[in-house]
């Protein structure tokens, strides 16, 4: 196991007699390598007792089983099982919230931080995969803007999507794209379900900065939406079993 490296910084402030505002005059630091040798250092019994209490609380919260995974479910590029599951959940949430079906759902690859191994999925497992407080956002893009967004997804090598199909190249070129099995009309409007972080234009998705009719739902975090979907599947006697269906295809052009 690699050692943990901590950076210790020191800041010295100089107070000048003619000015009440402090300013930094020296900034210095060093790296401290934390290895197993630290395990032999004396522990503060009071701090250990406090930590033990909170550790048990965390364990109690994370332990409940929500459902089961039919296989190992992890992210991937250009397409992955976790990508597809998240995007499909986001799209369904958009449908329910907007009052009619949205056209496309888009999440981001970097927001998926772990995997679910085959077997039980616990509350803690959901937190480990989706640790951020990202929430559902809805936005409207023109077909031209949506195509630009798909081009950014192609350049990134793939992001979670639902309701669309992309063909991309290894060097990030968008070859073809469609929505709901139909070519994109550049002048038409498309309703997109996404995350609040992305609708701001982050993670290279600049096209969202031109979106209209943006609505953000802080109470609908992606983690809560994922949890509700797992619970619904469990109540129906079904495991979590996403499929790879070719929604993003990678090809080499001649």
> Domain boundaries in the chain?
65-250
Q: What is the pLDDT of residues 144-177, one digit of tens each?
A: 999 999 999 999 999 999 999 999 999 999 999 9
**pLDDT at position 3 over 80:** no
Q: What is the CA radius of gyration of the chain?
A: 23
* Bridge partners of residue 47, in order along the sequence: none
Q: What is the pLDDT of residues 7-61, one digit of tens each?
A: 555 555 555 555 567 777 777 778 878 788 878 888 888 888 888 888 888 888 8
Instruction: Spell 94-119 as b/e; 16+ CB within 10 A means b.
Output: bbeeeeeebbbbbbbbebbeebbeee
Structure tokens at 244: 């790879």
Rounded to two decimals, the pTM is 0.82
Q: Which string of DSSP letters, residue by residue, matches 23-80? A: EEEEEEEEEEEE-GGGGGS---HHHHHHHHHHHHHHHHHH--EEEEESS-B---SS--
What is the fold, at CATH topology level, of the domain defined by 65-250?
5'-nucleotidase;  domain 2 (3.90.780)
pLDDT more than 90, % of the chain? 74
């Amino acid at each position: 196991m690699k050692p943990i490296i901590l950076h210790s910084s020191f800041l010295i402030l100089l107070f000048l007699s003619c000015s009440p505002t402090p300013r930094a005059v020296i900034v210095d630091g060093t790296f401290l390598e934390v290895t197993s040798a630290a395990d032999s250092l004396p522990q503060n019994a009071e701090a250990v007792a406090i930590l033990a209490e909170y550790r048990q609380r965390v364990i109690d919260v994370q332990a409940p089983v929500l459902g089961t995974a039919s296989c190992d479910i992890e992210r991937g590029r250009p397409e992955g099982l976790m990508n597809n599951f998240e995007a499909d959940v986001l799209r369904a949430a958009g449908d329910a919230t907007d009052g009619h079906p949205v056209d496309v759902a888009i999440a981001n690859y970097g927001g998926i931080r772990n995997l679910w191994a085959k077997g039980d999925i616990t509350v803690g497992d959901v937190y480990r995969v989706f640790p951020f407080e990202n929430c559902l956002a809805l936005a409207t893009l023109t077909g031209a803007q949506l195509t630009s967004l798909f081009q950014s997804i192609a350049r990134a090598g793939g992001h979670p999507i639902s309701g669309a199909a992309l063909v991309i190249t290894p060097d990030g070129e968008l070859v073809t794209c469609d929505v709901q099995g139909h070519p994109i009309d550049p002048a038409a409007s498309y309703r997109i379900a996404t995350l609040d972080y992305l609708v701001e234009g982050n993670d290279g998705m600049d096209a969202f900065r031109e979106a209209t009719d943006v609505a953000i739902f802080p109470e609908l975090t992606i983690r809560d939406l994922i949890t509700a979907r797992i619970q619904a599947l469990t109540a129906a006697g079904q495991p979590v079993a996403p499929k790879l269906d070719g929604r993003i295809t990678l090809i080499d052009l001649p």
